Amino acid sequence: MNIDEYLNAFERYRKTVMRLESAFREVWGEEDAENGSRCLSARWMIGLMDYDELEREYTRKKRILRQATERLQRAISEIPDDKIANYLVCRYLYRMTNEKIADHFNYCPRQIYRIASKAKKQLYRELLKEMPRVKRWKKYKRFRRSPVQRKKRTLRKYGRRARMASSEKKQK
């Protein structure tokens, strides 16, 4: 999983938890604080799931989101460049857009996109330090070959070429 996929999954998970919170607000009779209206998807979710099951799902997802947020905060705190760390805090913890961040720090939007590309690289490095080694190398497992396997493959590859070249000479 690359850093973009990780951050997109983090945002999707955050939206899911917020949707569940609004569903519980509707069940409890409270209005949605953000919209000032009732959540329409809550009736669908509650009709689909048992209330206790929905509550268990909500607590589980909220716990996972809290752990992911703490991991993200630790990784951001390890980044030595303040400009990059401030960008990451604003973007992923406070959910500000790049345009708002540019206005907030008095940068041009192009500079924010440059900072964003550097920030993602550094954040990925810091997150890799926190992830267990099994998760880090699982993706690349199929591409690793032992020296014997590499040698066999190259022999087959060049052996086939040599046979094809010799057969072409025989045909002439």
pLDDT band at 36 (very low <50, low <70, confident <90, very high): very low
pLDDT band at 24 (very low <50, low <70, confident <90, very high): confident
pLDDT attached to residue 32: 45
pLDDT one-digit tens code per residue, 86-145: 999 999 889 899 999 999 999 999 999 999 999 999 998 888 887 755 455 445 555 555
Contact between 89 and 119 under an 8 Å Cβ cutoff? The reply is no
Q: In Å, what is the CA distance from 58 to each residue of 2, 14, 41, 50?
A: 27, 11, 15, 12
Query: Greater confidence, 72 or 50?
Result: 72
Contact between 54 and 23 under an 8 Å Cβ cutoff? The reply is yes
Query: Greater confidence, 34 or 62?
Result: 62
Contact between 96 and 90 under an 8 Å Cβ cutoff? The reply is yes
* Mean of the per-residue pLDDT values of the chain: 76
pLDDT attached to residue 37: 47
Residue 22 burial (CB count, 10 A): 23
Contact between 58 and 21 under an 8 Å Cβ cutoff? The reply is yes
40 pLDDT higher than 50: no
49 pLDDT higher than 80: no
Contact between 26 and 18 under an 8 Å Cβ cutoff? The reply is no
